[in-house]
Structure 1
Amino acid sequence: MLADLPSLADFLAEPIAKRALLACLMIGFANGFVSAFVVLRKSALKVGTLSHALLPGIALSVLMVGLSQWSALAGAIFAALFVGLGSIFLSRTSRLDQDTSMGILYTTAFAGGYLILTQLNVRQKLDEWLFGSIVGMADSDMWIAFGISAIAVLTLTALQRPLLIYLFEPNIAASLGVPVRFLNYATFGITILVLISSLQAVGCILSVGLMVAPAATVYLLTNNARALFWGGGLIGAFGSAAAFFLSYPLGWSVSASIIVVLGGLFLLAYIFSPRYGLFSKRGRV
């Protein structure tokens, strides 16, 4: 099978391959950049919950208005907001905490969304939404990903100083006049948008890895909080591009390869980090 494939150079000459490589770099960088916020906020599990919550929104949009790029996008945004804000509402109006409420909402919604999609004869699209298909990205997908990536990086860069104060010292941030509530909603919205932009690349099942692993790797290498943003972006872009080149000759899924490569980079940092690695002096304490 692999012997019948064109060479990597021939494959890269195809527009579909160039588009997929560009998507790897762009989506990888944006997710890696935002992953700094996720790691500093210690909200990886909530991001994982939101990523799984995208599927039921897509299912409802397909059921109500049919399958299109924009209906899937709108449905994904609605589902993430429903689960995120719904969990806050439940926690404030019952004895349950937000994590428990979110766990109930997203698992129920995910199961319902899966049942809807299995009845709509969109099996191929279902696999793409679950596990991604970055090679199959259309021009419209690229423009959406580019717009979301640009908004996310520019916004977080502009808000970086007050955001870091808010993350480390929320009480001091409020006393200094930092708009804490605005930052909360802004970062929540950016996280949702970036998750949606990576849906085509790695799917809702694997997207949490793309949004956590890059900055988590940098976190093991430095104490500089600002370096988590740009370092996470560079690792996200590098790992995604490396996975693209690795997956083709091996016949692997690009989406799964991205997460495996990023997981491998994290493992290397965990073992060999001079300051916080498994074999460092600090690591043995």
Structure 2
Amino acid sequence: MIESSLITPFTEFEFMRRALAGCLALAFGATPVGVFLLLRRMSLMGDAMAHAILPGAALGYLAFGLSLGAMTIGGIIAGLVVALAAGLVARSSILKEDTSLAAFYLLSIATGVMIVSLRGRNLDLLHVLFGSVLALDDNSLMLISSISTLSLLALALLYRPLVLECFDSAFLRGVSAASPIAHYGFLVLVVLNLVSGFHALGTLMAVGIMILPAAAARLWVRQLPAMIGLAVLIALVSGVSGLLVSFHLDVPAGPSIILVTGLVYIASLALAPGGMLGSRLDRRPHFES
């Protein structure tokens, strides 16, 4: 009974295997990027960037329909433009970067929804906003896997400057010429992984697979390698569990995955050593070794 409930959906249905492959790729590629977003205190920026890709994806959709290439290129261009524009506004005015990102986020999502509505139907709009992880084809899986592979390679190359920038960006700027490479390279990785997640989970929830596992892992461990590993594991388990919930209860897969991840985060918030209850239970005398 348990085997038929947990394994049979993936062995008998190809769309479930494709969705599983997409979730695995996102967990290995997007979630480590989410850990660095969390440590850099840029979680809300990730959410803003997720919505920033909507106008570009919508323009690609308006011109070519549900074309993977057009929507991907449009989303990447829109995301990079918003990131650079927000940085420019922050450096040339009295507004902070979070304020400029919030402004561009609101403009982006309104523009994107309007563009899709000009031509599309409600079903098309839902596809753009909430994704279609159960409808991933070979091209979509290849794109998601390629971006995940590129992200892992880039994080391996930029690991040390990214760690330094997380904890002391001023020190990194003073001692290394790699600071701008790490900063802007990381922004590019964020945009790429949001576009990757957009095809599976939509623009409204793509950032969820990046931030929620990272936030849950942060409550359990302090060392960065362990945090990345635990966040990836949480994303993997949440992806599989969300797909099974979607299959057996006949509910949308994308929201199911994010809700399961959210439940893991809430449980961690309550029970983990860094959470609300765990921190009280783990209190020790000041001089205890």
User: TM-score if structure 2 supplies the norm length?
Assistant: 0.89
| Contact in 1 for aligned 2:53/2:108 (Cα 8 Å) | no
Measure the CA separation in 2 of the matches of 1:53 and 1:197.
Answer: 14
**Residue type of the alignment partner of 1:227:** A
CA distance in 1: counterparts of 2:28 and 2:154, whole angstroms: 14
| Counterpart contact for 2:9–2:247, Cα < 8 Å | no
Give the 3-state SS of the residue equivalent to 2:53 in structure 1. Answer: helix
1:135 equivalent in structure 2: 134
Helix, strand or coil for the counterpart of 1:204? coil
Q: How far 1:163 sits from its partner (Å)?
A: 1.6
TM-fit CA distance, 1:268: 1.1
Determine what percentage of the aligned residue pairs are the same residue.
28
Q: 1:66 to 1:166 in 2, by over 3 A?
A: same
- C-alpha separation in 1, matches of 2:159 and 2:172: 13
Cα distance in 1, alignment partners of residues 109 and 270 from structure 2: 36
Instruction: Indicate how the Cα distance of structure 1 residues 227 and 138 shifts in structure 2: closer, same or farther if over 3 A, else same.
Output: same
Partner Cα distance (1:95, 1:175) in 2:
25
Paired position in structure 2 for 1:171: 170
Change (3 A) 1:178 1:93: closer
Query: Contact conserved, 1:24 with 1:244, CA < 8 A, in 2?
Result: no
Question: 1:185 deviation in Å?
Answer: 0.7
8 Å CA contact 2:246–2:256 kept in 1: the answer is yes
Answer 1 or 2: higher relative contact order, Cα 8 Å, separation at least 6. 1
The aligned counterpart of 1:3 is none
| Residue in 1 that maps onto 2:192 | 193
Partner of 1:21: 20
Contact 2:26 2:209 in 1 (8 A): no
| Cα offset, 1:260, TM superposition | 0.6
Q: Which residue in the other structure is 1:58 paired with?
A: 57
Give the counterpart letter for 1:86 in structure 2. A
User: CA separation in 1, counterparts of 2:6 and 2:217?
Assistant: 34
Other-structure match for 1:34 = 33
Between the aligned partners of 2:108 and 2:276, the Cα distance in structure 1 is 39
Alignment of 1:203-242 (within 5 A): 203-242=202-241
Unaligned runs of 5+ in 1: 1-5
Q: Is the 8 A contact 2:49 2:83 kept in 1?
A: yes
* Structure 1 residue identity aligned to 2:275: G
Q: Distance in 2 between matches of 1:190 and 1:247?
A: 29
Aligned to 1:150: 149
5+ unaligned residues in a row in structure 2: which ranges? 284-289
Aligned to 2:274: 276
CA distance in 2, matches of 1:7, 1:281: 34
Q: What is the CA distance between 1:161 and its match in structure 2?
A: 2.3
Query: In 2 relative to 1, CA 100–172 (structure 1 residues): closer, same or farther, beyond 3 Å?
Result: closer
Q: Structure 1 CA distance, aligned partners of 2:108 and 2:266?
A: 33
Q: Distance in 2 between matches of 1:215 and 1:87?
A: 25
Q: How many Å apart are 1:66 and its aligned residue?
A: 4.9
Q: Give the alignment's Cα RMSD to 1 decimal.
A: 2.1
Q: CA deviation at 1:283?
A: 7.5
Encode CA deviations 1:48-94: one digit per residue, 9 max, x unaligned: 00101111111222334554111100110111112111111222333
Question: Could you say if the C-alpha distance between residues 282 and 157 of structure 1 is closer, same or farther in structure 2, counting changes exceeding 3 Å?
Answer: farther
Distance 1:195 1:281, change over 3 A: closer
Cα drift, residue 265 of structure 1 = 0.7
Corresponding residue pairs, total: 279
**CA shift in 2, pair 1:7/1:27, >3 Å:** closer
Q: Measure how far apart 1:95 and its partner are.
A: 2.6
Q: Secondary structure at the match of 2:21?
A: helix
d(CA) in 2 for partners of 1:140 and 1:250? 28
Q: Distance in 1 between matches of 2:161 and 2:178?
A: 8
Contact 1:277 1:283 in 2 (8 A): no
Q: How far is 1:177 from its partner? A: 2.2
**Inter-partner Cα distance in structure 1 for 2:63 and 2:104:** 21
Counterpart residue type for residue 143 of structure 2: I
Check the 8 A contact 1:31/1:236 in 2, yes or no.
no
